[in-house]
Amino acid sequence: MKPIDHADATPEVQAVYDDIQQTRGVPDVNNFWKMAANHPATLRRTWDSLKEVMAPGAVDVLTKEMIFLAVSITNGCTYCIRSHEAAARKAGMSDAQHGELLAVVGMANETNRLANGYQVPVDAALLDR
Amino acid sequence: MKPIDHADATPEVQAVYDDIQQTRGVPDVNNFWKMAANHPATLRRTWDSLKEVMAPGAVDVLTKEMIFLAVSITNGCTYCIRSHEAAARKAGMSDAQHGELLAVVGMANETNRLANGYQVPVDAALLDR
Amino acid sequence: MKPIDHADATPEVQAVYDDIQQTRGVPDVNNFWKMAANHPATLRRTWDSLKEVMAPGAVDVLTKEMIFLAVSITNGCTYCIRSHEAAARKAGMSDAQHGELLAVVGMANETNRLANGYQVPVDAALLDR
Amino acid sequence: MKPIDHADATPEVQAVYDDIQQTRGVPDVNNFWKMAANHPATLRRTWDSLKEVMAPGAVDVLTKEMIFLAVSITNGCTYCIRSHEAAARKAGMSDAQHGELLAVVGMANETNRLANGYQVPVDAALLDR
Amino acid sequence: MKPIDHADATPEVQAVYDDIQQTRGVPDVNNFWKMAANHPATLRRTWDSLKEVMAPGAVDVLTKEMIFLAVSITNGCTYCIRSHEAAARKAGMSDAQHGELLAVVGMANETNRLANGYQVPVDAALLDR
Amino acid sequence: MKPIDHADATPEVQAVYDDIQQTRGVPDVNNFWKMAANHPATLRRTWDSLKEVMAPGAVDVLTKEMIFLAVSITNGCTYCIRSHEAAARKAGMSDAQHGELLAVVGMANETNRLANGYQVPVDAALLDR
């Protein structure tokens, strides 16, 4: 499959691209969207969902992007790490915040395996919640 | 292996338990620490690291706990999900924030696989950083 | 380690290469096999297993390749995604089927984490099975 | 968080429950939906997406459920394994098909790691696609 | 599916059970094999492969079981953690070795994500190999 | 972020680099450390932990590096696979040992998913431990 540029896209796909560009204030969409456009229903559904989920709400945009980046690092998705690190930077992430995020992600992945390895029984107080 | 209670622990382990209890303001440590105490060097090192990494800094404690929870959900570690959900709640996470966190974690895991599946080439603008 | 070509291989390895080429109707084996040949027992055992498991049975070859691709996308294995996407295409996967496969893989990875995050208790009806 | 039953739900949530029940021909919704209902926007969005993605299309419902199950097994999500195994059975999966599915998922997870471990270079023919 | 006991198994399955019992010097096989017996081809193939791979060779049995346990902890497979911890203990793993194994698995999972998060470029010296 | 060379580093970072070089007997540190140096606290903490965990103890250095490599292969971290394969080779891993390691990692990842897929109940004997 090849990325589909705006000029080569169907009107249905162009409408999604236009909404992404307007919502994000960018002149063109990333390759992620140009590849997803190979299946227009996936493009539209994924954008609609992402637009809703990543909008500011009870959690601010920077925190949402940092959470997205933490998941992408855990899964080892290079494309996602690079694009959401850029998005987090755009939302205001400083060098110090980036460094602390990586430290937390590292520790979480370590202690997740210590909990697995020790087969830690869940504390009664944690089950009562 | 069995969890090691304070009364049955060596002075070295008790000193770590005491520091956890004082730092967190809790009367007893969780099972995670009582299991890690089976290898005292792991107990001490993990606590020292976690204490440093999870302290407030450029990123506040609530955000750090939400990132920790996001990683634990992605890895499917039940113990870690329950304990860090409790920690995030203690740090002030509301129902609405919890709901948005889960939505972001879900979308990140979905789009990570769409990026993999479409083998999306990294945009030049993302590589230039 | 380097890939081992047919001309440089031992008779034992050549026999496996020949069986792969005949079974699949290809003039040469992929790099996966040329690398596995560095440990001939792994080459032989993996090919014997794959040949048995991927043969048409109660599940047809196209569906098996689509399942293989879904797992490879979830694990983020680039080599496996590219080789099994090619195998699925060879077995008849259309653009539309590929697009729907990716959509299902994305949704499964999302809802797996929602189930983790909400710590959903298993319904009694699902346990009775 | 607790599962939210139909009787205790808001009209917005009840409307989603009703659509799930009608679409699937079941008298009640699974715990997955009753937990997701704690964040109504997630409930609605996830159901709308799942309904669209899992509908018969170029790929039939049984194959889609088998792909969903393969991903859930790979991720080790117990709830998802049990619910989508049930869904696949309902869509017609036989014992023999189930057995072959598990064999393919196992082999894919094995060879994904052999490809990683041998750092297999992507064949030129696979990049040309 | 239900576990299949020796008395209820076909002669083909019983022959595999007998080989497992003799090879391992145990009076009965674990539930893993009793479940796999629901698909006799998977039972036979998996046992044949495991018997070959886990036999002493250039790597001794204890080290092989410790590697198996490390993978199972990383994947969070409870059944596998418990059964291969038991196997490693039977092969001679001490408390101290177990503790160090868990510490290494934890650190590897942490630094894997730091390498992902920092998008560390591979050193030229590592590529030359 | 860019790798930070010794000449451009702060005295705090240089001290860590010097300790790595002396401990390992190498003239320069790998890119992993040069990237981690962007957050000096992470550099220092990670090195202190790794130095302690990877030192010879009840488990020898070769076995520790093989466990580290097994985890890195399972997680699909290319940088980590290449650097810890090199470290294991330096610690004495032979071609035959490498081949057997990869075979064990492959089988563990396969049977982990068979255990998930069959939802194998934990044997009573394994719980009694």
- Across chain E, mean pLDDT equals 97
pLDDT tens-digit readout, E71-95 = 999 999 999 999 999 999 999 999 9
- Residue D10 C-beta-side C-alpha neighbours within 13 Å: 9
Residue C100 lies in a domain: yes
| Claim to verify: residue A8 and residue A40 sit in the same structural domain | yes
Query: Which chain F positions have a beta carbon within 8 Å of D82's beta carbon?
Result: 119
Of D117, A19, D128, A102, give the one whose Cα is nearest residue C1: D117
Looking at residue F55, its amino acid is: A
Q: Is E39 on the interface with D (CB under 8 A)?
A: yes
Using CA atoms, how far apart are residues A118 and A108, in angstroms rounded to an integer? 15
How far is C107 from C70, CA to CA, in rounded Å? Answer: 12
ipTM of the complex: 0.97
- Helix intervals (H) in A4-119: 11-24, 31-36, 40-53, 61-75, 78-90, 95-117
| Average pLDDT for A94-108 | 98
pLDDT of residue D27: 96
- Check whether residue E42 and residue E17 sit in a common domain: yes
* Ranges of chain C with pLDDT below 50: none
pLDDT at A21 over 80: yes
For B39, nearest residue in chain E (alpha carbons): E99
Q: Which of F53, F69, F96 is the last residue of a domain?
A: F53
At residue A1, does pLDDT exceed 90? no
CATH code, A40: 1.20.1290.10
Both E68 and E39 in a single domain? Answer: no
Record: contact B30-A68, CB cut-off 8 A: no
Does D127 reside within a domain? no
CA-based nearest residue in chain A for residue F37: A99
Query: Per-residue pLDDT tens for B59-80?
Result: 999 999 999 999 999 999 999 9
d(CA E86, CA E72): 13
Same domain assignment for residues B86 and B123 = yes
Q: What value does the mean pLDDT take over residues D62-86? A: 98
How many domains, chain A?
A: 2
How many helices and strands in chain C, by DSSP H and E?
7, 0
Tell me the nearest-neighbour CA distance from A39 into chain C, angstroms.
5
C126 within domain boundaries: no
CA distance E53 to D52: 44
Checking if the pLDDT of F5 tops 90, the result is: yes
- Band (pLDDT 50/70/90 cuts) for residue D1 is confident
pLDDT band at residue B1 using 50, 70 and 90 as cut-offs:
confident
Per-position DSSP letters for D41-91, written without gaps between them:
HHHHHHHHHHHHHHSSSSS-HHHHHHHHHHHHHHHT-HHHHHHHHHHHHHT
Q: Is some CB atom of chain F closer than 8 A to the CB atom of C77?
A: yes
B42 to E99: CB separation less than 8 angstroms, yes or no? yes
Long-range contact list for B55-62, CB < 8 A, 24+ apart?
B57/A96, B57/A100, B58/A94, B58/A96, B58/A97, B58/A99, B58/A100, B59/A66, B59/A97, B59/A100, B59/A101, B59/A104, B61/B91, B62/B88, B62/B91, B62/B92, B62/B93
A109 and A62, same domain (yes or no):
yes
Token match 């069986």: residue?
Answer: C19
Contact list in F for residue C41 (CB cut-off 8 A) is 99, 103
Say if residue F112 is in the same domain as residue F69.
yes
Do residues F49 and F62 both lie within one domain?
no
Closest CA to E85 of F118, B1, B31, F98: B1
pLDDT in tens, E22-73: 999 999 999 999 999 999 999 999 999 999 999 999 999 999 999 999 999 9
Per-residue pLDDT band for F129 (boundaries 50, 70, 90) equals low
* A36 residue type, one letter: A
**Mean pLDDT on D44-61:** 98
Amino acid occupying residue F111: T
Q: Give yes or no: residues D101 and D63 share one domain.
A: yes
Is F116 an 8 Å CB contact of chain E?
yes
Per-residue pLDDT at E127 = 85
pLDDT of residue F92: 98
Cα–Cα separations (whole angstroms), residue E17 to E24, E34, E42, F107? 11, 9, 13, 19
Q: What is the pLDDT of residues D15-52, one digit of tens each?
A: 999 999 999 999 999 999 999 999 999 999 999 999 99
What pLDDT score was predicted for residue C128? Answer: 60
Report CA-CA distances (Å) from F72 to E74, E113, F84.
10, 10, 8
- CA E76 remoteness from chain centre: 13
In a domain, F125, yes or no: no
pLDDT per residue over F38-94, tens digit each?
Answer: 999 999 999 999 999 999 999 999 999 999 999 999 999 999 999 999 999 999 999
In a domain, F9, yes or no: yes
CB C112 within 8 A of CB D27: no
Q: Domain range for residue F83?
A: 56-120
**Position F99 pLDDT exceeds 60:** yes
Query: Tokens for D59?
Result: 């790929």
pLDDT tops 60 at residue A129: no
Tokens of B77: 């570690």
* Per-state percent for chain D, helix, strand, coil, to nearest 5: 70, 0, 30
pLDDT-derived band at B128 (thresholds 50, 70, 90) equals: low
Joined tokens for residue D15:
């409307």
How far does the CA of residue F89 sit from the closest CA of chain A (Å)?
A: 25
D122, pLDDT greater than 70: yes
Same domain, yes or no: E40 and E89: no
Residue C127 lies in a domain: no
In a domain, C44, yes or no: yes
Residues F17 and F64 in one domain: no
Minimal CA separation from B19 to chain A, in Å: 18
Asked whether residue A129 is assigned to any structural domain, the reply reads no
The number of angstroms, rounded, from the C-alpha of B25 to the middle of its chain's C-alpha atoms is: 18
Average pLDDT value for residue range B83-93: 98
Q: What gap in Å lies between CA E86 and CA E78, rounded to an integer?
A: 12
Residue B126: count of CB within 10 angstroms of its CB:
18
Q: How confident is the model at residue F128 (pLDDT cuts 50, 70, 90)?
A: low
pLDDT band at E129 (very low <50, low <70, confident <90, very high): low
Best residue of B32, B42, B129 to probe chain E, by most E CBs closer than 10 Å: B42
Residues B3 and B21 in one domain: yes
Interface test with F, best of D110, D114, D118, D122 (most F CBs within 10 A): D110
Q: Kindly determine whether residue B42 and residue E95, on different chains, have CB atoms separated by under 8 Å.
A: no
Q: Considering only CA atoms, which of A52, D45, D35 is closest in space to residue C116?
A: D35
Q: Would an 8 Å CB–CB cutoff place B119 in contact with chain C?
A: yes
Considering the domain architecture, whether residues D115 and D79 belong to the same structural domain is answered as: yes
